Amino acid sequence: MFHVEGVFDPMTAPASIYDVSATGIDGNLLSLSTYKDKVLLIVNTASQCGFTPQYQGLQALYDQYADRGLVVLGFPCNQFGGQEPGDSDQIQSFCETNFGVSFPLFQKIEVNGSSIHPLYQYLTKAVPGIFGTEGIKWNFTKFLVDRSGKVVKRYPSTAKPEDLAKDIQALL
């Protein structure tokens, strides 16, 4: 299993999204294989970003489609403008208090660079961004994963959660 303490190594990249584990906001290590047969919307998040209000839209998607198999996974990241400076308790409290977030959140990770989390190593290779770049450009980049674990689409930070509904419905 790959987990948050892993360091980027292209020779040991995960073969499947289900080979990756991440530490939940509660401190417990969780294998993404837990979400087999679910549609996943994976988002790198931040609490002090201009896109932070997207938490509300992400929660609305989760509320609307969770019973049909959608799981939104939030991965806080402090790599863009230092916009996620808090610890796990602060992040969780902020998300619950301000946006009623009930979808799974994880501990802070890096989504770019030499300490890139294996999940983002996998996601960015599976679906590169504009002009084939793999790097994440900013907070609230979104990845849609089908029930078999295939990454089917990458959305920029500017994509509003409600605009993803049609793509999500097609996979449910």
Active site residue 49: yes
Catalytic-role residue among 49, 70, 101, 145:
49
> Dihedrals φ, ψ of 32, to 5°?
-70, -10
Catalytic residue annotation? 49
